Structure 1
Amino acid sequence: MSRRRTFSIVAALAAIAALVLAGPRPRAAVADSGQLFIYRVNASSDAAAQRLFDRGFDVLENRAGGDLFVLGNAATADKLRTAGFQPAIAEKIETGGWQPPSTRLVPDAAGPAVAPIDETYDGGYRTVRAQYAHLDKVAADHPDLATVVDYGDSYLKTRNAATGYDLKAICLTRRATGDCALTPTAPKPRFLLMTQIHAREIVTGDIAWRFIDHLVANAAGSTAALLNSTEIWVVPIVNPDGVDLVQQGGNRPYLQRKNLDASGSTSCPRPPTGSGQVGVDLNRNSNNHWGGASTSRNKCSEVYPGLNPDSEPETRAIEGLFRKLFADQRGPADTDAAPATTRGAMISMHSFAGMNLFPWGWTNGHSPNDAALRRIAQHMSSLNGYQFGQPGEILYNASGTSDDWSYGELGIASFTIEVASCGRFTPAYSCTGTDFAKNLPVLLYVAGLAKAPYQA
Structure 2
Amino acid sequence: MASRSLSRLALAATGVVLSALLGGTAAAQPAADTPVFWRVPATAAQAHALENAGFDVEEGDAGAAYVVGGQAVANRLRALGYRPSFFDTVYKELPAQANSLAADTFYGGYRTVTAHENHLTAVAAAHPDLATKYTIGQSWKKTKGQGGHDIQAICLTKKQTGDCTLSTSSPKPKFFIMAQIHARELSTGELAWRWIDYLADGYATDATAKSILDTTEVWVVPISNPDGVDIVASGGNSPKLQRKNADNTRGSCTGTNIGIDLNRNSTFKWGGDSNSACAETYQGVSAGSEPETQALEKLARAIFPDQRGTGNNDPAPTTAKGTMITLHSYGNDIIIPWGFTQATSPNDTQYRKLGAKYAASNGYLVGTNEETVGYDTSGTTDDFTYGELGVASVTFEVGGSSGTCGGFLPRYTCVDSTFWPKNKGAFITAAKAAAAPYQQ
Q: In structure 2, what is the equivalent of residue 369 of structure 1?
A: 347
Distance 1:94 1:238 in 2: 23
Distance 1:219 1:92 in 2: 40
Of the three residues 329, 333, 353, the one matched with 1:351 is 329
Amino acid at match of 1:257: R
Q: Alpha carbons of 1:47 and 1:228: their partners in 2 closer, same or farther (altered >3 Å)?
A: same
Distance 1:123 1:311 in 2: 34
Of the three residues 66, 69, 79, the one matched with 2:76 is 79
Amino acid at match of 1:318: L
Of the three residues 387, 406, 416, the one matched with 1:408 is 387
Distance 1:80 1:378 in 2: 39
Distance 1:94 1:360 in 2: 32
Q: In structure 2, what is the equivalent of residue 217 of structure 1?
A: 201
SS of 2:412's partner is: coil
Q: In structure 2, what is the equivalent of residue 432 of structure 1?
A: 415
Q: Alpha carbons of 1:438 and 1:334: their partners in 2 closer, same or farther (altered >3 Å)?
A: same
Distance 1:41 1:96 in 2: 24
Distance 1:194 1:400 in 2: 16
Q: In structure 2, what is the equivalent of residue 235 of structure 1?
A: 221
CA contact (8 A) 1:288 1:400 kept: yes
Query: Scaled by the length of structure 1, what TM-score is found?
Result: 0.83
Amino acid at match of 2:132: T
Q: Report how far residue 454 of structure 1 moved.
A: 0.3
Query: Scaled by the length of structure 2, what TM-score is found?
Result: 0.86
Distance 1:82 1:391 in 2: 31
Q: In structure 1, what is the equivalent of residue 144 of structure 2?
A: 159
Of the three residues 279, 303, 307, the one matched with 2:285 is 307
Q: Report how far residue 82 of structure 1 moved.
A: 4.3
CA contact (8 A) 1:95 1:251 kept: no
SS of 1:129's partner is: helix
Q: Report how far residue 377 of structure 1 moved.
A: 1.2
Amino acid at match of 1:35: T
Distance 2:74 2:199 in 1: 45
Q: Report how far residue 297 of structure 1 moved.
A: 1.6
Distance 1:337 1:304 in 2: 30
Identical positions, percent: 47
SS of 2:160's partner is: coil
Q: Report how far residue 75 of structure 1 moved.
A: 2.2
Q: 2:50 matched to 1:38?
A: no
CA contact (8 A) 2:92 2:409 kept: no
Q: Report how far residue 96 of structure 1 moved.
A: 8.7
Distance 1:255 1:325 in 2: 33
Q: In structure 1, what is the equivalent of residue 360 of structure 2?
A: 382
Question: Which deviations, in whole Å up to 9, do the C-alpha atoms of 1:175-211 show, x marking residues without a partner?
Answer: 1100000111111000011000000101110111111
Long gaps (5+) in structure 1:
1-32, 98-112
Q: In structure 2, what is the equivalent of residue 320 of structure 1?
A: 298
CA contact (8 A) 1:262 1:279 kept: yes
Q: Alpha carbons of 1:375 and 1:48: their partners in 2 closer, same or farther (altered >3 Å)?
A: farther
Amino acid at match of 1:288: F
Q: Report how far residue 394 of structure 1 moved.
A: 1.8
229-238 or 83-92: which moved more?
Answer: 83-92
SS of 2:312's partner is: coil
Distance 2:247 2:305 in 1: 30
Distance 1:394 1:63 in 2: 10
Q: 2:242 matched to 1:256?
A: yes
Q: In structure 1, what is the equivalent of residue 51 of structure 2?
A: 53
Q: Report how far residue 83 of structure 1 moved.
A: 4.3
Question: Which deviations, in whole Å up to 9, do the C-alpha atoms of 1:339-368 show, x marking residues without a partner?
Answer: 111011100000011111011011110111
Q: In structure 1, what is the equivalent of residue 406 of structure 2?
A: 423
CA contact (8 A) 1:42 1:67 kept: yes
Number of matched pairs: 395
Q: Report how far residue 68 of structure 1 moved.
A: 2.8
CA contact (8 A) 2:322 2:391 kept: yes
Q: In structure 2, what is the equivalent of residue 192 of structure 1?
A: 176
Distance 1:414 1:95 in 2: 31
Distance 2:397 2:80 in 1: 28
Question: Which deviations, in whole Å up to 9, do the C-alpha atoms of 1:138-164 show, x marking residues without a partner?
Answer: 01000011010001111111110x611
Distance 1:84 1:363 in 2: 30
Q: In structure 1, what is the equivalent of residue 162 of structure 2?
A: 178
Distance 2:300 2:279 in 1: 28
Q: Report how far residue 84 of structure 1 moved.
A: 4.7
SS of 2:39's partner is: strand
Distance 1:329 1:189 in 2: 13
Distance 1:387 1:439 in 2: 13
Q: Report how far residue 64 of structure 1 moved.
A: 3.4
Distance 1:454 1:261 in 2: 38
RMSD (CA atoms):
1.8
SS of 1:414's partner is: strand
Taking the TM superposition and a 5 Å limit, the aligned residue runs for 1:41-120 are 41-43=40-42, 46-60=44-58, 62-94=59-91, 118-120=103-105
Q: Report how far residue 53 of structure 1 moved.
A: 2.5
Q: 2:118 matched to 1:133?
A: yes
Q: In structure 1, what is the equivalent of residue 26 of structure 2?
A: none
Long gaps (5+) in structure 2:
1-31, 95-100
76-85 or 389-398: which moved more?
Answer: 76-85
SS of 1:391's partner is: coil
CA contact (8 A) 1:364 1:393 kept: no
Distance 1:341 1:46 in 2: 39
SS of 1:437's partner is: helix
